[in-house]
Amino acid sequence: MSHNPNIRLSFATKLVTTSIIIIISSTFTTSQTCKPTCGTLPVRYPFGTGLGCGDPRFQTRVTCNNQHLTFITHTGCYPITAIDYPNQIIYITDPSMSTCGCTQPSKGFGLDWDAPFTFHDNTVFALLNCDTSSSPIFKSDGRNAPVCDPVSGTRVCGILNSCQAVSRLTTPVSSCCVYAPVDLGPSFEMDLGKLNCGSYSGLYGFDGHADNPESWKYGVALKYKFNFNNEYPTMCADCERSGGVCGYGGPYSSFLCNCRSGINTTTNCLFEATWNSSSRFVHGGFWIYALTWLVIWMML
Ligand SMILES: *[C@@H]1O[C@H](CO)[C@@H](O)[C@H](O)[C@H]1NC(C)=O
Ligand SMILES: *[C@@H]1O[C@H](CO)[C@@H](O)[C@H](O)[C@H]1NC(C)=O
């Protein structure tokens, strides 16, 4: 029978192919595209660590570069220091802003008007070193300029002025202007050049600590919304519960669940749990296949 060796050969080929598939699938165990962390920060919906991860509307605004989660607007790139997922708040710092310990010139800060972020009510902006004679915010008829808060402003400005670094500016307290709650107008932009102010401080964490500037946090607190109804997508919640990371793909940027094994599903990663519990068997299975293959090879 001349076709007998051919059958054996194709059987061996099948075994080799199976072995290769097993090797590849065990390599895939570490090839998850969307990561659940960036540096030390947990990354969950709607944020993502790269293209195709999280929600497409947030993808260009929050990125993970060299394990640093970064918030991006047209005014610059800002390190994200913390994310409060239950309350939907991200906290960012601006390396150009002034603090109690250090004052420096800044061009200002702005949000993109079309991005799904707004200022949190706890955020206070103190504009420092403003030219009271020319700045539009100090003109009584300053129509399009933001208006300083006289009450909390005096307190915040007074305390900021008692900081050594700020007092070194040797500008009067009256050249400081506070917005609280922050309303930068329809453009969400604080252009210090236009306002004739030299620098600014962003502060949050006043609740109950108004008189203790040491406990204030310098930075900006921003709220975000998932969507119009602000509902956490149930498909994504299901995916995250099963150990996956939410992402999107395809021509319509439709939902994907990126599982730890690197496989994308349209539901969740529960299949991995079963697969994982039998992973020892799979690895053992590989050696069984290899051994069988060797036996077949010797028989040929
Ligand atoms: C899974 O989805 C991510 C995000 O869209 C994509 O980058 C990756 O290539 C997909 N992986 C597979 C195996 O299709
Ligand atoms: C399998 O389980 C281990 C520990 O229980 C876990 O670290 C690993 O990420 C799991 N792998 C997959 C693919 O779920």
Q: 250: phi > 0 → left, psi -120 to 50 → alpha, else beta; which? A: left
Q: Is 142 in the pocket of ligand 1 (CB under 6 A)?
A: no
Q: Round to whole Å and give the CA distance between 159 and 279.
A: 61
Mutational pocket test of ligand 2: of 25, 33, 276, 277, the residue with most ligand atoms within 8 Å of the beta carbon: 276
Q: Is 249 in the pocket of ligand 1 (CB under 6 A)?
A: yes
Laid out side by side, the sheet with 217-218 consists of: 177-179, 124-130, 197-204, 217-218
Q: Which residues line ligand 2 (CB under 6 A)?
A: 29, 243, 260-261, 272, 276
Q: Round to whole Å and give the CA distance between 120 and 226.
A: 15
The protein residue with its alpha carbon nearest to ligand 1, atom 1, reads 264
Condensed to tens digits (0 to 9), the pLDDT of residues 188-244 reads 788 899 888 999 999 887 776 767 777 788 999 999 999 889 999 999 999 999 999
Structure token digits, residue 289: 């296949």
Q: Is 261 in the pocket of ligand 1 (CB under 6 A)?
A: no
Q: Is 54 in the pocket of ligand 1 (CB under 6 A)?
A: no
Q: How far apart are the first and last CA of the chain?
A: 15
Contact predicate 101/218, CB 8 Å = no
Residue with tokens 């003109």: 139
The protein residue with its alpha carbon nearest to ligand 2, atom 10, reads 276
Q: Round to whole Å and give the CA distance between 298 and 300.
A: 5
pTM: 0.77
Helices 270-277 and 279-299, interaxial angle, to 10°?
A: 60
Q: Is 247 in the pocket of ligand 1 (CB under 6 A)?
A: yes
Q: Is 50 in the pocket of ligand 1 (CB under 6 A)?
A: no
In percent, the amount of the chain with pLDDT more than 90 equals 41
Q: Which of 116, 81, 213, 208 is nearest to 159 (CA)?
A: 213
User: Does the pLDDT of residue 159 top 60, yes or no?
Assistant: yes
The protein residue with its alpha carbon nearest to ligand 1, atom 5, reads 52
Separation of 276 CA from ligand 2 center, angstroms? Answer: 6
Condensed to tens digits (0 to 9), the pLDDT of residues 49-78 reads 999 999 999 999 999 999 999 999 999 999
Condensed to tens digits (0 to 9), the pLDDT of residues 89-132 reads 999 999 999 888 888 999 999 998 888 999 988 888 899 888 88
| Nearest atom (ligand 1) to Cα of 249 | 5
| Sequence spans of domains, the chain | 4-30+269-299, 89-224
User: Does the pLDDT of residue 1 top 50, yes or no?
Assistant: no
Mutational pocket test of ligand 2: of 26, 260, 279, the residue with most ligand atoms within 8 Å of the beta carbon: 260
Separation of 245 CA from ligand 1 center, angstroms? Answer: 11
Structure token digits, residue 283: 């690895």
Q: Which residues pair with 77 in a beta bridge?
A: 72
